[in-house]
Structure 1
């Protein structure tokens, strides 16, 4: 690449050429996503259409009037691009939105002169506008943004969407429709791995907020009276933790209970799944590493902090048996035992479909080779036993895909899974991630 580079100007020219090549490649990928979508339509009744799932229901992947896509076709494209199935849904949805509802912007992007990510910002905003924008409103946004997309940021796009809603009757300056309830509690579990705290942010009713403020202040004062030398902010945070454990001020569960029953239920149990490395010393004693992993949130945690939790008054400590990931467990039943299920979840960590990252605790535990419910009755050996080596964690979406489509799953050894797609793509999945085994499909040899 650098053989002909002799001056800084040559480097600048090379950078410009590469930037243009990247824009062209990204635009081509968007075109591929669109062609893939229109060649894999959903059924006329939309029963198999790709949608996004959330705790509040389902949401289409693109705006009203765009073609619906077969949900089972999405994973094939995601595998080819190295994307999760949800990321592939989003890419396809953006391509459909741009092609059908934002045609001016689509023309500029597919010509290779506009960064794809900017156009996708607009598509994301128009797809998920609430309330949904009519075609006329989206067309107006397309007219406004397409000539100036290079200088348009997220805030400007949001203002355009809001303006389109007002212009096309979805909102007015004196809109008196009911606003969403702002009350919420959020616990930020995505803080840095080495942070030993979590941020809590909430919006409460005024009365509840004042009650909480009074309880936290009283708890902080009580800690100071008991000899605590921590700062006021630290004592207030400790007091809030005490409220969570003992419900001294917000004892909703104990309402109407006797004093004896309330005393028994004041300590609240929180299950933490902690992993520390243990080693045997020369004197046969066991020592633990100073730093371990809190599985619930994939965070590093200090052994000293765990000791403080254990020694805290009224802390309910439950020690679960250690699960050996190298041990082979089995049962004669179809449903795995709790211990077997726990072992498989710990081994796989996530859904084992290529590139999927859904935590194994929220996945189904499925048989790699299907369990034959009639084998015992017919006196035949069980082809799909419920054993460690024949189980895998699959999120519900990929469990259905494995059951109802041409994707083939094979497990050559415990914890290693090889997938073959209907179009011949091959992937290996283990606890370290996804490896593409498709030799020749991308012009490269398969990895060892």
Structure 2
């Protein structure tokens, strides 16, 4: 791998060699930008004009602007082959081409420093992405202000300087962006982490959030009353799963209140006392210093500590326990080329409670530990889980009705369908790794947490080895479901989109209305997102099935790729066209 034995180098020479390796990597990245520019020039609409009669609304190729105002147009499908050759998705390739064009046509001073080796290419590309929405004139003003400092300040400082320069260059756009951000409301769910945990980010009206928080707090208190010894933050997290079922929520709160009243009933042998003013009863595990009539401290979590307001048009910086903080930004390496720099509300986590940048209430770990009781042993945990399951059963055994008279109907709990992939050994032993669609790998012991306390229905396993065809062009749901299970990810080279019910299913061998029966089947369908479906249909790509698990794609210039369950594999002896 290396021409010299690194063990023979002195420490000083080793450091110098590492610096040279970084410099060489930067030169190669700069060269890749030059390749992207030349490739874009060769795919300008003037060099490959559309045929007469083509209409973009028919799904055919269009001319698109990738780098922002002032950049030339590029043929839309060009990014697909460029990305395949780089081993990245078509979307990531389009971002790279757009960044290169933006540097040449909008940020020429920054590009000059990249070409001279005075600016790191990936930092320059981030500046190009940050200025994507600016006019060409405003981008030129930013270019003049930041070109000389691309590599002389840390990435975090550079990001702040670029942001300030953008506001100075186009203050109206900055104000409009801030106002638009203030109008944004929604609930966003992030991807699952490696431990089967998800994060939810909510932006809603203050009153709605306060009422939601109060319900979560009530459920956390109810769980404690029923015997849950977990900490308050953990009980609040469990409440998220309970509140998804309104009937279960109501029944659990009702039974918890009934148990509180039973525990605080003085009984017939207790001397009568003056009735105190109505107040919440003390919790079952109140200490000896708690007075019978005293109001316990509410368990609604600490009050939020409001930090400084976020700057206009900007979300709080995401922070993670294992990722670098603001002081470590100087050590942040270049992003992976398959990662997009474009914002996505579903990929904008807001940190973890207790960490810098977390906009919610601070979590006092000492208080949380003090709130927790003794951990339940295995038998007690099973008994507690059984009680929750019984409460849920009671809630839906005699569900409330809607309407009246003969038209009255029962309100049934909502149904959630999950697909679990596991081996026969894991199924028999309850120990091992399984995969849940939409979540990823989980431990088998986490499945009970995912399913909850029922009711649930186990459907028979679908044998995916059977090829199921139909004669019609339209795809029935039973075949669509099988294709989704067979191919969890789109079947285009380096495709990143997970298969879902609304995704296009392409006929690998084009459907012929006059052809033989059974053309629409699990062995002739491949999931593709709309862009790659159009690339395959109108972009001179070819595809054929080699076996039931392998598709062979051929690019317009003759490069071949095999897409299998293990990913995308370039064919080492392509018959490429010149």
TM-score (norm 2): 0.64
Q: 1:179 to 1:74 in 2, by over 3 A?
A: closer
Q: 1:220 to 1:123 in 2, by over 3 A?
A: same
Structure 1, unaligned runs of 5 or more: 52-59, 376-380, 443-448
- For the residue of structure 2 that corresponds to 1:296, the secondary structure is coil
Contact in 2 for aligned 1:276/1:289 (Cα 8 Å): no
Aligned to 1:422: 556
Q: In 2, distance between residues paired with 1:115 and 1:243?
A: 49
Give the superposition deviation at 1:177. 5.3
Q: In 2, distance between residues paired with 1:440 and 1:176?
A: 51
Give the superposition deviation at 1:204. 2.8
Q: 1:110 to 1:318 in 2, by over 3 A?
A: farther
TM alignment of 1:123-202, pairs within 5 A = 123-127=128-132, 132-152=133-153, 153-170=155-172, 180-191=182-193, 193=194, 195-202=195-202
Q: In 1, distance between residues paired with 2:527 and 2:24?
A: 39
Identify the structure with the greater strand proportion: 1
TM alignment of 1:207-218, pairs within 5 A = 207-218=207-218
Aligned to 1:398: 532
Q: Does 1:372 align with 2:512?
A: yes
Aligned to 1:104: 109
Q: 1:232 to 1:96 in 2, by over 3 A?
A: same
Q: 1:297 to 1:42 in 2, by over 3 A?
A: farther
Q: 1:385 to 1:12 in 2, by over 3 A?
A: same
- Specify the structure having the higher radius of gyration (Cα): 2
Cα deviation code 1:168-223 (max 9, x no counterpart)? 452689999565325332333232x2x24333332332221222222223222322
Aligned to 1:22: 25
Contact in 2 for aligned 1:23/1:113 (Cα 8 Å): no
Give the superposition deviation at 1:289. 4.1
Q: In 2, distance between residues paired with 1:100 and 1:90?
A: 15
Which residue, out of 484, 489, 492, partners 1:350?
Answer: 489
Q: 1:259 to 1:17 in 2, by over 3 A?
A: farther
Q: In 2, distance between residues paired with 1:184 and 1:30?
A: 37
Q: Does 1:433 align with 2:434?
A: no
Aligned to 1:54: none
Contact in 2 for aligned 1:50/1:70 (Cα 8 Å): yes
TM alignment of 1:194-273, pairs within 5 A = 195-246=195-246, 248=249, 257-258=402-403, 264-265=410-411, 267-273=413-419
- For the residue of structure 2 that corresponds to 1:240, the secondary structure is helix
Contact in 1 for aligned 2:435/2:442 (Cα 8 Å): yes
Q: In 2, distance between residues paired with 1:320 and 1:150?
A: 58
Which residue, out of 120, 124, 127, partners 2:125?
Answer: 120
Structure 2, unaligned runs of 5 or more: 251-398
The Cα RMSD (Å) is: 3.3
- For the residue of structure 1 that corresponds to 2:438, the secondary structure is helix
- For the residue of structure 2 that corresponds to 1:393, the secondary structure is strand
Aligned to 2:435: 293
Q: In 1, distance between residues paired with 2:401 and 2:115?
A: 66
- For the residue of structure 1 that corresponds to 2:182, the secondary structure is coil
